[in-house]
Amino acid sequence: MNDNPVLRWTALILIASMMFFAYMFVDVMSPLKSMIEAQRGWNSTVFGTYAASEYILNVCGFLIIAGIILDKMGVRFTGTLSASLMVGGAIIKYIGISDWFQTTAFCGWLDSWWVALPGSAKMASLGFMIFGCGCEMAGTTVSKAIAKWFDGHELSLAMGIEMAIARIGVFAVMWISPIIANAHNQSVVAPLAFCTALLLIGLITFIVFTFMDKKLDKQLIAEGKMAEEPNPEDEFKIKDLGIVFGSKMFWIVAIMCVLYYSAIFPFQRYAPNFLEETLNIDATSAARLFSFFPILAMALTPFLGGFISFKGKGASMLMAGSLLMIICHLSFAFVLPVFAHKWFAVVLILLLGLSFSLVPAALWPSVTKIIDKKVLGSAYCLIFWVQNIGLCLVPLLIGSLRQSTGGYTVPMLVFSSFGVLAFLLTFLLKLEDKRKGFGLELPEVKNEK
């Protein structure tokens, strides 16, 4: 089945749809920061705590467990579980933000302890924690599923298209969230309800994919390409995690990943509010401006993935993407406040989107070249685990800096420093690749007809 282009690309669309809806839900609150602060009594520190909550359980070890589940149980079970967790977490978050919940005795009890965090934020954070477990588990599952369906084919191109589809979700929610909120009398609840319903659709699309994947397994067994009963020597064992932890290249990629994404995803949470204040515009206009961020990412990532598949140069792309991110965040810190024009803000946002095309298009396929397939799921989850440590702590740091300094200059400098460190690591990555011959600069598809 995976040798049939129509079937393997259909499988990709089904699993990418789940991630599209997940990315919408991740940022559904970003354009509503001012609104949620006014309606629920939050401030920047509370919003930062809420944003960080998505990653807390993952940092506490869930992602390591998720990697073990993925390698032991396979993509079908793990993907269905992750989609179900996203739906469950979204429902809890919706309840926490809902108007009726604010009047309940339970919300009053939540308000009574750790008073710096309102009851609505506590409940929303709990839901976001559970959603985050499912979302990060889904990300690693999708990566392994694509690696399986596109083995020997256009792997980087497929991963690039999947990432592009997911990022359309960021673009869409930056427009849709304020529109839905304004259509329902400035309601922060309505956009959450809409995106929660979309997550349920994502669960259904993945279940459809599981039937295709099961049929593929049966076909591979019938053709002798896969054993019906795995060889005990090839089965995943807990001790195999040592293979991952003992890999120098794993740590280079993992640390570079956490540095780069810590300057992207936490920035997304604050970007609409940053533009709102820096350009002196309303929240809806700011969200629409920032919606241009994924435009170049979703347009170019498939082409960049295809370039890596057929031409290579993955490590060089990582270097270029990190350098571009540094330039963008420094411009946000010092140039945009002085030259506060919307068109210039859009240029910077588009360039940051270009960076967000270059790095992921090269980063995730490179893992398949440096890690044994037997522990590939665990490797992805462990990279996500390291990444989540940064994604958990950085929103707390940015929220605190924003609250204490009253501006965004210092936070932007923090984001820039992450880019500098990631850029330095790309040199080490290229050096190690040259020494060990992992083939990060080499194409994946050779003489395929």
pLDDT tens by residue, 61-119: 887 788 778 878 888 999 999 999 999 999 999 999 999 998 899 999 998 888 888 99
Residue 240: the pLDDT is 66
Residue 125: the pLDDT is 94
Dihedral sign from CA coordinates of 141, 370, 319, 251: positive
- Mean residue pLDDT across the chain: 85
Residue 90: the pLDDT is 96
- Cα–Cα distance for residue pair 280/251, rounded to 1 Å: 42
- Cα–Cα distance for residue pair 131/62, rounded to 1 Å: 12
- % of the chain at pLDDT higher than 70: 93
Residue 448: the pLDDT is 45
The answer to the question of residue 183 being in a domain is: yes
278 CB contacts (<8 Å, ≥6 apart)? 336, 337, 340, 345, 408
pLDDT tens sequence across 391-449:
888 888 988 898 889 889 999 999 999 999 999 998 888 888 888 887 777 776 664 43
The answer to the question of residue 390 being in a domain is: yes
- Cα–Cα distance for residue pair 215/210, rounded to 1 Å: 9
Dihedral sign from CA coordinates of 292, 297, 300, 302: negative
pLDDT tens sequence across 289-325:
988 887 777 777 777 767 877 787 777 888 888 899 9
360 pLDDT above the threshold of 80: no
CA atoms within 13 A on the CB side of 435: 8
The answer to the question of residue 24 being in a domain is: yes
Residue 421: the pLDDT is 93
Residue 436: the pLDDT is 81
Query: How many angstroms separate the Cα of 324 from the Cα of each of 170, 187, 219, 330, 353?
Result: 20, 37, 45, 10, 10
Give the chain's radius of gyration (CA, Å). 21
The Cα diameter of the chain in Å comes to 67
Return the minimum-mean-pLDDT range out of 175-189, 261-275, 345-359, 427-441.
427-441
Residue 228: the pLDDT is 60
282 CB contacts (<8 Å, ≥6 apart)? 276
The answer to the question of residue 444 being in a domain is: no
More confident residue, 160 or 214: 214
The answer to the question of residue 39 being in a domain is: yes
Q: Are 389 and 380 in contact (CB under 8 A)?
A: no
pLDDT tens sequence across 163-172:
778 888 888 8
Q: Which residue has 């946002």 as its token pair?
A: 349
Q: Hey, what are 100's tokens? A: 């009726």
- Cα–Cα distance for residue pair 424/234, rounded to 1 Å: 36
Confidence of residue 225 (pLDDT cuts 50, 70, 90): low
43 — alpha (psi -120 to 50), left (phi > 0) or beta? beta
The answer to the question of residue 441 being in a domain is: no
Residue 356: the pLDDT is 81
Domains: count for the chain: 1
- Cα–Cα distance for residue pair 65/85, rounded to 1 Å: 14
Residue 227: the pLDDT is 59
290 CB contacts (<8 Å, ≥6 apart)? 30, 31, 174, 268, 271, 272, 275, 349
Q: Which residue has 């990555």 as its token pair?
A: 429
Return the minimum-mean-pLDDT range out of 76-80, 131-135, 380-384.
380-384
CATH number of the domain where residue 241 is located: 1.20.1250.20
The answer to the question of residue 443 being in a domain is: no
pLDDT tens sequence across 231-284:
555 455 666 667 777 778 888 888 888 898 898 888 988 898 899 999 999 888
Return the minimum-mean-pLDDT range out of 37-46, 156-165, 326-335, 368-377.
368-377
Mean pLDDT for 183-195 is 92
* Helix ranges (DSSP H) in 58-118: 63-97, 105-112
364 pLDDT above the threshold of 90: no
The answer to the question of residue 445 being in a domain is: no
- Domain, as residue range, for 345: 5-227+234-436
